[in-house]
Amino acid sequence: MTEDALAQLIDVPALTRWIEANVPGPAGPIEVQKHVAGFSNETFFVTRGAEHWVLRRPPRGPLLPTAHDVLREHRFIAALYGKARVPRPVGACDDVSVIGAPFYLMERLDGAVLRSGLPAAYENHAGRHRVGEELIDTLAELHAVDWQAAGITGRGENYLERQVARWSKQWELTRPRTRELPGLDAVTVWLEEHLPASSRVTIVHGDYKLDNVIFATNEPRLLAILDWEMATVGDPLADLGWLLSYWGESGDPPLPQGEVMVGELTREPGFPAIEEMLALYERRSGLPMTHFTFYHVLAVYKLAIILEGLYMHYLESTASNPESARFEWHVPVLIERMQRLIAKAQSG
């Protein structure tokens, strides 16, 4: 990123003054580097001598009222630090005159985000299995936090009902601009008819998956959960469903040549199967998996609607990423997966 482009997002002299006034430590020059990853809030690496931080701020331009709330991210991290695996919070600023937007700083952890491969130290059967165990252990630890005692507030009741209503409405808004998908309509009806009673109310990360956590590079040890933008309180099994909607699964039809599905990495030998992940979580949390099919289907349903929205932008030539074209076939594959999950539950 050029200095001019960086200056449009970060006023480095103003940031330096804010850090000097609000972050204890030896004075020194501040270095800022843009980190290119994800599609949501802007992320930067900030260095002061031997100190290394991550800065998060909203993107430029007009924003929806509740979107890109970085101060919400900071509130969750600050409330959970010492109680769950989160980065150490450093500070937050709600004064938009400093760098042009609210922002927060957290410690920068030295580790690996797992997207297409694992560090060599645990690229083996045992290491892959431990990655799955660490994901479950960390999630169960998060869900065990007394969120009210931690100072987190929210409305957890009727969480599942509100989720189904929200995403079915999103599909109704998307449908006229893409295509008819009768299989998705059938899943909507099934979800509405099979709403389980909530298991309990806990913190819900909202986007818990393999590439939203950071692992140590020398061993399969999960250091921290990242990307707290969607955090709320609600049903913990929604997090488990979301994690496993990105997990390697057998039964999907043959894909177009050269294409891969979400969760390709977790299809490698050693990663626990979905059934084993469920058993691990049940042991760690004490929550029964009796109605997990609902949570699994809800997560894939949400994913399919999100991807169909991206496909809509592709059709309208407004997509930020040309790879959105692949959702033409990807969404129907997800619908077939939901139908398979429902059929399996009904036959069982």
SS3 344: helix
CA 112 to each of CA 217, 267, 290, 334: distance values in angstroms, whole numbers, following the listed order: 6, 19, 34, 28
Q: What is the structure's pLDDT at 249? A: 75
The domain 120-347 having CATH identifier 3.90.1200.10: the answer here is yes
DSSP 286-326: ----TTHHHHHHHHHHHHHHHHHHHHHHHHTT--SSGGGGG
Q: How far is it, in rounded angstroms, from Cα 146 to Cα 157? A: 16
- Report whether 221 contacts 158 (CB < 8 A): no
Q: What is the structure's pLDDT at 65? A: 39
pLDDT for residue 122 is more than 50: yes
The proportion of the chain whose per-residue pLDDT surpasses 90, expressed as a percent, equals: 76
Q: What is the structure's pLDDT at 188? A: 97
- Report whether 299 contacts 149 (CB < 8 A): no
Q: Residue 344: what residue type?
A: K
CATH 3.90.1200.10 boundaries in the chain: 120-347
Q: How far is it, in rounded angstroms, from Cα 118 to Cα 265? A: 9
Q: What is the structure's pLDDT at 278? A: 98
CATH 3.30.200.20 boundaries in the chain: 3-107
Q: What is the structure's pLDDT at 7? A: 61
Q: How far is it, in rounded angstroms, from Cα 301 to Cα 337? A: 10
> Taking the mean position of all CA atoms in its chain, how far away is CA 249?
19
Out of 73-77, 164-168, 235-239, 324-328, which region has the weakest mean confidence (pLDDT)?
324-328
Lookup: tokens for 259: 């294409």
For the domain made up of 3-107, give the CATH fold.
Answer: Phosphorylase Kinase; domain 1 (3.30.200)
Mean pLDDT of the region 335-339: 95
E strand map for 123-252: 202-204, 213-215, 222-225, 232-234
What pLDDT digit, counting tens, does each position of 206-226 carry? 999 999 999 999 999 999 999
Mean pLDDT of the region 43-61: 88
What pLDDT digit, counting tens, does each position of 227-253 carry? 998 999 999 999 999 999 999 876 776
Lookup: tokens for 199: 């298991």
Strand 222-225 relative to strand 51-57: parallel, antiparallel, unpaired? unpaired
N-terminal to C-terminal alpha carbon distance within the chain: 54
pLDDT for residue 37 is more than 70: no
Q: What is the structure's pLDDT at 63? A: 38
Strand-pair partners of 224:
214
C-alpha neighbours within 13 Å on the C-beta side of residue 161: 6
Residue 182 phi/psi, 5° resolution? -55, -35
What pLDDT digit, counting tens, does each position of 54-101 carry? 999 887 644 333 445 889 999 999 999 999 999 999 999 999 999 988
- Report whether 189 contacts 223 (CB < 8 A): no
Q: How many CB atoms lie within 10 A of CB 25?
A: 12
